[in-house]
Structure 1
Amino acid sequence: MAHRSRAERVTSVAALDDPTSRAVYDYVSLASAAVSRDAAAEALGVSRRIAAAHLDKLADKGLLTVEFRRLHERAGPGAGRPAKLYRRAADEVTVSVPDRRYDLVASLLAAAVTEAVGTGAEVGETVNRNAYDAGRAIAAATPDLLEALLETGYEPHRSDGGLLLSNCPFHRLARQYTDLVCGLNLHLLRGMTDDSPAAFRPVLDPAPGRCCVRLEGPGPVG
């Protein structure tokens, strides 16, 4: 599943603030099979219409998936339409304030270790190469540099001589494994900026309260 924007993730989690929606989600999550509207209504003591509204809302927010299947063996004329059934979505939805991307750094590190074990390549070099490639993929998917930085969690703002990144998407890991994660971060941002018309150059420049990398250059963003 592609990374969802922060706004989408906040909206998904906010759907569970409603007590009935949360009860419906919990019921579907604990069920051993896909759940029908009738089953949810009976289990929660609400009308079928209310159960259906909450199930569809949770599906629309990406928290449940939908499938259609007959609940009996009859087929042909008179068998009726397949029932609409719901399961919990396999993909997790996480929201943090400020935004963190531990999923991204975990994927990069796991891929690098797997490659290094299989080929004998040096792990650090493999991490940095994979991070650079990931940055290029992010830039290809979101060509506007400012938007790409925001969606990756960096919170960029203008400063003399370039952009400062107010947030580190890998904050906790960067504090524990500074050299590894800051190096990964630098190469990720190089991949994101190399083909950008904004002509920014990522440089390591650690300082309290912001990302360890800043983007140096006078070019306009976007």
Structure 2
Amino acid sequence: MGDAFSAIGALADPLRRRLYEYVAGRDDGVGREEVAREVGVPPHTARFHLDKLVEEGLLTVEHRRLSGRTGPGAGRPAKVYRRAAGELAVSLPERGYDLVGRVFAAAVERSLEGAPLPETLAEEARQAGRRDGTAYEGKGGELARSADVLADRGYEPTRVGDGLVLRNCPFDALAREHTALVCGVNHDYVGGVLDGLGCDHTSARLDPGPDRCCVRVEERPGRA
């Protein structure tokens, strides 16, 4: 695997970045032909750049039959690409330790003055989310606007049904060691974003799962 700076450099090429982002947005992995079709390049071009991303450790490869068929006549397994696990020191995907650091610092400062730390942590996380949501000036539906704000913070929101799955935890390293604490901060922050955006029919709930953020955003039943 290449070092962090080499991996970052691999994404300086705009086409390579687009290929990486398309693959990274797929939970189940994707074949070369689909990537080429969706990004709009010849398959041989896609293969060259995808294999370079594998060399740099940004993507991994497995082999499986994309048709789902087995037995004689099913054809050879195809090469399937997916985003590699792990975290680069120079943040790919983006990590938001500056945000969580400010939230923790403000909460601890208030706790030193006598306020209960769990409550101040929740309040500070929600206020941070509310500030980000209020500052957003884009237009669109609640999910679309929520996705824009959360994407800027590195959550990698993906539309799934009537909601958003957040494919990346911006506080990944902290979450591995202090899961309950960081999941609470994520939940309060995302809820604050929805408040700041004025979302009346969208909510954040805890929905832990492997290799993604513990929070899911969804439209509530009976929305207008």
User: Which residue does 2:50 correspond to in 1?
Assistant: none
Deviation per CA, 1:149-207, whole angstroms, max 9, x where unpaired? 11111111111231100100011101111111110110000000124447321000000
The amino acid that maps onto 1:115 is R
Q: TM-score, normalised by structure 2?
A: 0.53
Indicate yes or no: 2:122 matched with 1:128: yes
CA distance in 2, matches of 1:198, 1:209: 29
**Aligned mate of 1:109, from 101, 104, 113:** 104
Identity over the aligned pairs, expressed in percent? 43
Question: Offset at 1:105?
Answer: 0.4
The amino acid that maps onto 2:169 is C
> Which is higher, the Rg of structure 1 or of structure 2?
1
User: Which residue does 1:148 correspond to in 2?
Assistant: 149
Question: Offset at 1:140?
Answer: 1.1
> SS at 1:207's partner residue?
coil
User: Which residue does 2:182 correspond to in 1?
Assistant: 181
Pair 218,121 (structure 1): closer, same or farther in 2 beyond 3 Å? closer
* Count of aligned pairs: 129
**5+ residue gaps, structure 1:** 1-12, 18-93
Pair 110,197 (structure 1): closer, same or farther in 2 beyond 3 Å? closer
Pair 165,121 (structure 1): closer, same or farther in 2 beyond 3 Å? same
Query: What are the within-5 Å matches in structure 2 for residues 6-21 of structure 1?
Result: none
Pair 186,161 (structure 1): closer, same or farther in 2 beyond 3 Å? same
Indicate yes or no: 2:99 matched with 1:98: no
Moved over 3 A (4+): 195-198
Question: Offset at 1:218?
Answer: 6.3
Q: TM-score, normalised by structure 1?
A: 0.53
**5+ residue gaps, structure 2:** 1-7, 13-88, 138-144
> SS at 1:115's partner residue?
helix
